[in-house]
C-alpha cells in the first residue's frame, strides 16, 4: 500500500507542476477527478490563463477560489491525504503514510522549479531561482500581462538589444543567465521549446463552440490542428496565438464545457 501511495504521489506532483508551468487551471479538483495514473481527467471547466493572476479562477461553481491556480498543489496534497485514509483501512502504518504525504510540497517544488527554470532558459540550479520566478510572476500580475505570450516575448530579450520590456526583473534575469555562460541562441531555443506559442485560448474555444452549435466546425478543426503543434511558428494561423481583447476575455467556464 505504501509503495503504491508513493507512486501516485510522485505522479501527482509532476502532473500539477506541468499544469502550472503552462498556466492551466483544472477547475474541479475533487478527489473523484484525480487519477491514480497521474493523468488529467474530468476537467470540464478547465481553462488556460490569459492575463496572469495567482488567484485566477474560471469555474462558475468555484466561488471561493478553492481550485484557483495557486491552490492546485495544496489541493493535490489534500486529495492524496484522502487516498491515504482509504489505503489505511486495508492496512499499513499511519506514521509512514503521513511521512510520505509530507514529502509532497518539496517534491512538487522540485518539479515546478525544474519546469520554470527551463521556461526562463536556465539549465543550472541557483539559490535565488525560486525568488526570481516569483518576481517574474509578480511582474506579470502587476502589469496584467498575458502568461503565454510574455514567456515567448522574454526569449527575444536574450541578446540584450533594444529597450527593456520587463523592468527590473529583466535585469536580474540577464544577470542570472550570465552565470551560465551559454550561447544566447541556445538559450532562446531552450525557452522556445518549453514555452508554447499556441494554447487553446478561451475566447477561441468559445468561438469554436458557438460556430459548432450553428453547424460550422471550421474553427473547431482549425484550432484543434493548430494546438497539436504548440511550439511551432504557424504564420497562417498567427491569430490563434494572440491574447483576447478586453471584450473577448472569458471570465467564467462551466462543467458542461
Residues designated catalytic: 32
Distance (Å, whole) CA 123 – CA 117: 7
Distance (Å, whole) CA 2 – CA 7: 9
Q: Which of 133, 136, 117, 142 is nearest to 51 (CA)?
A: 142
Instruction: Check residue 147 and report its DSSP letter.
Output: H
Distance of CA 207 to the CA centre of its chain: 23
Q: Which residue has the cell 550561447?
A: 183
User: With b meaning 16 or more CB within 10 Å and e meaning fewer, what string describes 54-90?
Assistant: eebbbbeebeeebbbbebbbbbbbbbbeebbeebbee
Amino acid at each position: 500500500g505504501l509503495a503504491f501511495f508513493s507512486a501516485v504521489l510522485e505522479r501527482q506532483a509532476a502532473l500539477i507542476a506541468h499544469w502550472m508551468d503552462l498556466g492551466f487551471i483544472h477547475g474541479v479538483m475533487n478527489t473523484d477527478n484525480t487519477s491514480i495514473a497521474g493523468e488529467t481527467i474530468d476537467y470540464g471547466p478547465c481553462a488556460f490563463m490569459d492575463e496572469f493572476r495567482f488567484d485566477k479562477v474560471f469555474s462558475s461553481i468555484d466561488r471561493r477560489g478553492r481550485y484557483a491556480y495557486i491552490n492546485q498543489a495544496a489541493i493535490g496534497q489534500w486529495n492524496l491525504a484522502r487516498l491515504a485514509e482509504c489505503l489505511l483501512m486495508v492496512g499499513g502504518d499511519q506514521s509512514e503514510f503521513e511521512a510520505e504525504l509530507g514529502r509532497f510540497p518539496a517534491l512538487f517544488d522540485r518539479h515546478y522549479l525544474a519546469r520554470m527554470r527551463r521556461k526562463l532558459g536556465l539549465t543550472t540550479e541557483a539559490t535565488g531561482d525560486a525568488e526570481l520566478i516569483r518576481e517574474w510572476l509578480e511582474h506579470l500580475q502587476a502589469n496584467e500581462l498575458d502568461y503565454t505570450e510574455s514567456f515567448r516575448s522574454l526569449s527575444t530579450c536574450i541578446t540584450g538589444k533594444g529597450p527593456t520590456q520587463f523592468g527590473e526583473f529583466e535585469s536580474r534575469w540577464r544577470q542570472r543567465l550570465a552565470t551560465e555562460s551559454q550561447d544566447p541562441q541556445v538559450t532562446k531555443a531552450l525557452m522556445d521549446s518549453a514555452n508554447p506559442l499556441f494554447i487553446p485560448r478561451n475566447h477561441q474555444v468559445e468561438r469554436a463552440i458557438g460556430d459548432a452549435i450553428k453547424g460550422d466546425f471550421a474553427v473547431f478543426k482549425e484550432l484543434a490542428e493548430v494546438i497539436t503543434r504548440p511550439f511551432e511558428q504557424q504564420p497562417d494561423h498567427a491569430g490563434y496565438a494572440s491574447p483576447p481583447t478586453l471584450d473577448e476575455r472569458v471570465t467564467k467556464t462551466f462543467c458542461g464545457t
